Amino acid sequence: MRQATTEPGVFLTDPLAALEGWAGDGIAIRRFEPGRYLVSGAELVRTALAGTTTPFEAKAATFGAVAGWVPGSDRSRPVNAALAQELDRAWQAVPAERITAELRRSAEAGEAWPGALSTSYLRLFGEQLFPGLPPRARQTLQDALAASDGLDRTSTALRRLRGRFAHSRADAALHRWAADRAGPLPEALRAALGSADDVALALHGLVGAVCRAAAMVFAWTVLLDRGWRPGSPAGAILRPAGTPQPAAHRVREALRLWPVAWLLSRKVTAATELGGVSLVPGDRLYLCTYLLHRDPDVWAEPGEYRPGRWAGPPEGHKARYLPYGFGSAACVGSRFVNQATAKVLECAGALDRFDLRIIEPEPVFGSLLSPPVVRPVPPS
C-alpha cells in the first residue's frame, strides 16, 4: 500500500485534473492541505466507513442536518426501515405511462438537465411519498430543489439568499403536512425525533438527497449512452444511440464511472492511524469513490463506459464499488435511486426523437458530482 502525505493544492482548484492524474497511481492516502486527507485505498476506505462515531464520525446524507443523528443507532434504524419501505412502494407504484409522459413533457419544454430532472422525480414519486400534500406546498419543494441545483454551479450572495428563503418555505410546508400525518415514515420520524421542526428538516433532506441524486444518475447514464466524454464542448450535440444493455447495468456503470457521491466525508474524533498516517481529532478524511472505482487492478479499461461488464463483474469488485458508501451509514436511498432510475430509463424511448445540446460542458465536483448541463432539442 502506497501513501503520500503531501500533495499540491490543485485538488482544490481543479478536482478533475487532479483526479485524472492520480487515477491508478496506487497511492492509498494523501494530504492535500493541513488536516485534510484524500483516501482512495479500498481497505482504508472501508475501515473509515465501518464506524459511525469513533474514531471516525459519520453523517447520513439524507438526515445529516438533524442534530445528534447517528447512522446505524437504535434511534435511526426504525426510521431507515420505514424510509426504505416507503421508497420501494413509491417507485413500484408509478405506472410506466406516467413516467413516459413526464419525460416527454420535460423534453418538449426544452428544460435544462439535470436540474429540471430533480423536479421531474418529485412530480413522479412525490405523490407517493407525500400523499395529500397541497399543490402550493408541492411547488415550494420544487422551488427548493431548483435553488439547490443552481447553487452547485453559481453561488452568489443573492442566489444563496433566495435559496435560504425557498428552503425555509419548504420546511414550513412539510412541517404542516407531517404534523398529524399517519403512515410508517412520518410516524417513525416523530417517534425518533420528537421535534416537529426536526421532522420537517428530515423530510426536506429526504427530498433533496433522493430526487437530486436520482436525477443526476439518470442524466449521467443518458449522456454516457450517447457517447459523452470529458472535453465535449458547449454546443455539441449528443444524438440518440441504442444500447442492448439492460438499464440496471447502465445505471451501475454510470455510478462506477461518475459516482454522484464521489467524496464521502468523515471527521476524526480520536487519535488514530490510517494507512501509516497519524491522525488527530479534528482532521477530516475525504473518501474518494471516483478513484476507488477506477482501480486498474480490478476494472479493465477503468476510464471507459462499459455497461456489459456488469453481466459478470470482476473479482474483487465489491470492495472497490461503493457508490453509496458502506456499513451502517450507507445511503438508505440507494435502492430507490438504482431501481427508480432503471425504471425511468426503460421508459426513455420518448427521448429518442430528441437530441441533447450541451449547455455547460464541465462536470461539477460539489457536494454531488453533477454532470454537464444539457437541453433536449428536436433534431434539425
pLDDT at 6: 60
pLDDT level of residue 9 (50, 70, 90 thresholds): confident
Predicted pLDDT at 13: 86
pLDDT at position 4 is 63
Q: Per-residue confidence at 1, pLDDT binned at 50, 70, 90?
A: low
pLDDT at 62 over 80: no
Cell of 33: 492541505
Q: Is the model more confident about 157 or about 137?
A: 137
More confident residue, 380 or 107: 107
Range in 75-79, 118-122, 297-301, 351-355 the model is least confident about: 75-79
Q: Tell me if 22 sits within 8 A of 9, measured CB to CB.
A: no
In sequence order, what are the residues at sequence separation of 6 or more whose Cβ sits closer than 8 angstroms to the Cβ of residue 362? 16, 372
Give me the mean pLDDT over the 114-120 stretch: 95
Give one word for 264, left, alpha or beta, with left for phi > 0 and alpha for psi -120 to 50.
beta
Query: Which pLDDT does position 319 carry in this prediction?
Result: 92
Residue 180 CB: number of other CB atoms within 10 A? 8
* pLDDT over 60 (residue 5): no
Decide if pLDDT at 145 tops 90. no
**Alpha carbon distance 321, 7 (integer Å):** 25
Tens-place pLDDT, residues 205-214: 888 889 999 9
151 grid coordinates: 447553487
Residue 228, pLDDT score: 98
Pairing of strands 277-279, 373-377: unpaired
Position 74 confidence tier, pLDDT thresholds 50, 70, 90: confident
The average pLDDT across 54-72 equals 78
Q: Which pLDDT band, with edges at 50, 70 and 90, does 234 fall under?
A: very high
CB 237 within 8 A of CB 24: no
Q: Name which of 34, 20, 25 is nearest 3 in CA terms.
A: 25
With a pLDDT cut of 70, the percent of the chain lying above it is 95
Q: Which residue has the cell 428563503?
A: 165
64-87 mean pLDDT: 84
pTM of this prediction? 0.94
As a whole number, the mean pLDDT across the chain is 91
The confidence score (pLDDT) of residue 10 equals 78
Higher model confidence: residue 242 or residue 30?
A: 30
Question: Residue 163 — pLDDT band, cuts 50, 70, 90?
Answer: confident
Q: How many other CB atoms are found less than 10 A from the CB of residue 350?
A: 17
Mean pLDDT of 235-249: 93
- For residue 159, what pLDDT is reported? 72
The confidence score (pLDDT) of residue 160 equals 74
